[in-house]
Amino acid sequence: MKTKQLSRHRSDTYFSLFLDLPAILLTVSFIIVPIVDSVIKSFQTFGLKNIISKKPGIWNNFANYLYLLKTDEFGNATMHTFSFVLWIVVVQFVLAMLLALILNSNIKGARFMRSIMMTPWVVPTVISALIWMWLFQPQYGLLKYLVSVVTGGRVSEFAILNNPATALAGVGIAALWKQIPLMTLLLLAGLQNVPHDISEAAMIDGAGKVRRFFSIILPYLSPVIKVSLSMAIIENFKQFPLFWTMTGGGPNNATTTLAVLSYREAFVGMNLGAGAAITTLWMGMMIVVIFLYNKAFRIQDMQ
Amino acid sequence: MNQTQKSDSKVFTFFKTLTLVAILLFLLFPLYWVLITAFKTNLEAYRYPPTFFPRVPVIDSFVSLFKENNQFFVYYKNNIIVSSFVALLCCIVAIFAGYSLARFKNRWNRWFFALLLASQMFPVISRMISLYTIMGKLDIINTLAGLSLALLAAQAPFCIILMSSFFAGIPKEIEEAAYVDGAGRFRILFSIITPLVKSGLVAVGIYAFLMTWDDYLHAATLIQADGKRTLSVGIALRYLGELSYDWSLVNTISIVGTIPVVLLFFFFQKYMIKGLVAGAVKG
């Protein structure tokens, strides 16, 4: 009997490995190997010539990295990326939390509203870029009109994407529009799991709305918040199509993030080695951010 | 809960409603705006100040999309082919690996799970720099099959984790009984267990379809021939190239390009909402 169980155990292992095999093959060959290869390429001179002649790249003594340090471009792109991620994630969290709390408060038509508010999430990213470019259009755009009405005609020319000071915010609005629905949905699902009786008991004890939110609802939501924030951080760190379609990194590089810079270097300038150096540093930063983020949540959980 | 509502002051209710209306307007008004622009004449679309309802709704821009700008439908068709293919294969891969993750808690699967989590983090551009060269050497660059494989690998990790959270909800006793009856492992998986997670499978398939439909970077780097381009890249390169855009046409394209995914989402909404929540919270 014992040997039979043992052999069953071993055959379980083989069977599970067999089932994992297609996914492992895919992940290793289309994700892990390319990532490692791009890190290697970041230390090489690798450009269009190598692709045409199918010759491997040559080690170049950190030339790609030194090249990045020569101009401010990389530093600026890093700044843009971080400020974009920070602003979008904070604003998105506040708005999604407000919407989720309201939809969870027994109002009429909450189910219907939850369902139609998901639409922007489904709209393809490039198309959401087009939608907002049309609203922001410098001559006939709706936003220009609204701004001129609100300011009583004082600001009659408002082109958010053409001004280096506001362009990043313009792309951010489109990003918020597309991402708020999913975060609201996740937070709403979390809110629905908060035990009713606890919240009610606190109310009877005389705890106000704000007090109840911070000392009962928020701690219960902590796991959901952790997941949805980390999804938002990763997504915005990687954001590319919105920038590329709406501004192409302009005006005057005001919206050039690490994604735009690496794409431009690798696929417009065809300097794949330098592009790989940017993505390697970019990945490193992302890993550090996620690590610190997890650590922060762990400390908070212990308290 | 009634007590709460009674205790709500009028000021509170007012601000609550105001916030709700403001956020919903922000989310939904842009869609309305695109919709009415598509039904305006070009002359009216370029009117300033803009009109909030088309004076005479026309379908000119739809006709022109079908007649003069029908290269759009080549991109559209490619997008349907690639997205369906990826969704289908993703379901199969996710049944295999998702079941294995949920059912067999061994050392290998812990590593496998970590691999899946990590692989969702890497920037796509980093992969593309390398895949562009590797797939070029293997001669699968510039093919829809190659593009689909690269996209399948990108969608699979989340789909597997999502699928495993559905398999985890199936009690082990069900398959134990079948095992004692002498059914083979594959028969148990496909004809006994999988039918029980049908709704999860629908969520996985549609999720993979939506994410593939949305792809820009894979197609932008791996496809060079215009006839093989997919939707996002096709639109960006063909209809946004010039200095002045034909905005009626662009708005029409936005609508036609979004319709399939919106329909799919709303038709299977029940599964999708449950699935997204389950997948995100588990992963």
Q: Is A223 on the interface with B (CB under 8 A)?
A: yes
Q: Cβ contact (<8 Å) for A245 and B152?
A: no
Domain range list for chain B: 2-63, 69-282
B111 near A CB under 8 A:
no
**Range in A100-104, A130-134, B239-243 the model is least confident about:** B239-243
Mean pLDDT across the stretch A78-83? Answer: 95
What confidence score (pLDDT) does residue B52 get? 86
Q: For CA atoms B274, B277, B281, B283, give the dihedral sign.
A: positive
- Report percent pLDDT > 70 for chain A: 97
- Predicted confidence at residue B29, as pLDDT, reads 95
pLDDT of residue A303: 61
Q: Say yes or no: A204 contacts chain B, CB-CB below 8 A.
A: no
* Residue B166 buriedness (CB in 10 A; 0-12 / 13-18 / 19+): buried
How far apart are the C-alpha atoms of B76 and B231, rounded to whole Å?
Answer: 5
In a domain, A142, yes or no: yes
d(CA B201, CA B171): 17
Structural domain boundaries, residue A252: 14-302
Strand-pair partners of B29: none
CB < 8 Å to B158, chain A: none
Model pLDDT for residues B55-93, shown as the tens digit of each residue: 888 888 888 888 888 888 999 999 999 999 999 999 999
Q: What was the pLDDT predicted at B8? A: 65
Domain B69-282 CATH (choose: 3.90.1200.10, 1.10.3720.10, 3.30.110.30, 3.30.70.20): 1.10.3720.10
Token representation of residue B116? 């899946």
Is A116 within 8 Å of chain B by CB? yes
Residue A99 sits at the chain B interface (C-beta within 8 Å): yes
Contacts A120 to B, Cβ<8 Å: 27, 30-31
For residue A6, being part of any structural domain is answered with no
Helices (H), ranges, chain A: 2-27, 33-41, 48-53, 63-70, 73-103, 110-116, 119-122, 125-135, 142-150, 167-192, 196-204, 209-212, 218-238, 241-246, 258-263, 272-302
Among residues A78, A93, A82, which one has the least CA distance to residue A232?
A: A93
Reported confidence tier of residue A262, pLDDT bands at 50, 70, 90 = very high
> Cα dist. B60→A239, B42, B88, B236 in Å?
35, 9, 37, 22
Closest CA in chain B for residue A106: B1
CA distance A245 to A126: 7
Cβ-Cβ contacts under 8 Å for B109 (sequence gap 6 or more): A16, A20, B100, B101
Q: Give the nearest partner residue to B93 out of A17, A26, A275, using CB atoms.
A: A26
- Enumerate residues 37 to 66 of chain B having a beta carbon within 8 A of any beta carbon in chain A: 37, 45-50
Domain for residue A147, yes or no? yes
Given a contact cutoff of 8 angstroms between Cβ atoms, the answer to whether B82 and B212 are in contact is yes
List, for residues B13-22, the tens digit of each pLDDT value: 889 999 999 9
Is A171 part of a structural domain of the chain? yes
Q: Residue B1: which pLDDT band, with cuts at 50, 70 and 90?
A: very low
pLDDT at B156 over 80: yes
Q: Where are the alpha helices (DSSP H) in A42-165?
A: 48-53, 63-70, 73-103, 110-116, 119-122, 125-135, 142-150
Confidence of residue B282 (pLDDT cuts 50, 70, 90): low
Q: Which of residues 150-189 of A touch B (CB under 8 A)?
A: 177, 180-182, 185-186, 189
Using a CB-CB cut-off of 8 Å, the residues of chain B touching A231 are 280
A136-191 pLDDT, tens digit per residue, is 988 888 998 898 888 887 877 888 898 899 999 999 999 999 999 999 999 998 88
Residue A4 in domain: no
Residue A285 touches chain B, beta carbons under 8 Å = no
A106 touches chain B (CB under 8 A): yes
Binned at pLDDT 50, 70 and 90, residue B5 comes out as very low
Contacts of A49 (CB under 8 A, 6+ apart): A55
User: What is the reported pLDDT for B2?
Assistant: 44
pLDDT at A2 over 60: no
Does A133 reside within a domain?
yes
Residue A1, in any domain of the structure: no
B4, B129, B265 ranked by CB distance to A276: nearest: B129
Gap between the Cα atoms of B233 and A263, Å rounded? 14
What's the predicted TM-score (pTM) here? 0.91
Count of domains observed in chain A: 1
A75 pLDDT tier (thresholds 50, 70, 90)? very high
What pLDDT is recorded for position A5? 65
Which stretch, A67-76, A83-92, A143-152, B162-171, has highest mean pLDDT? A83-92
Of B19, B106, B126, the CB nearest to A13: B106
**pLDDT(B223) > 90:** yes
Complex ipTM, two decimals?
Answer: 0.90
Tell me the CATH number at A29.
1.10.3720.10
Q: What is the pLDDT of residue A93?
A: 97
The Cα–Cα gap between A291 and B9 comes to 44
pLDDT band at A210 (very low <50, low <70, confident <90, very high): confident
State whether residue A290 sits within 8 Å of chain B by CB. Answer: yes
Mean pLDDT of chain A: 88
CA-based radius of gyration for chain A: 25
The predicted pLDDT at position B275 comes to: 81
pLDDT per residue as tens digits for the range B203-212: 999 999 999 9
Token pair for B184 = 């083979």
Q: Which of A19, A102, A120 has its CB closest to that of B96?
A: A19
Q: Which of B186, B178, B179 is nearest to B99 (CA)?
A: B186
Is residue A220 one of the residues assigned to a domain?
yes
For range A267-295, the mean pLDDT: 92
**Phi and psi based region of residue B237 (left: phi greater than 0; alpha: psi -120 to 50; beta: remaining):** alpha
Between A8 and B22, name the one with better pLDDT. Answer: B22
Q: Per mean pLDDT, which range of A23-27, B35-39, B96-100, B169-173 is the poorest?
A: B169-173
From chain B residues 132-161, the ones with a CB under 8 A of any chain A CB are 132-134, 136-137, 149-150, 152-154, 156-157, 160
For residue B206, what are its two tokens?
């549609």
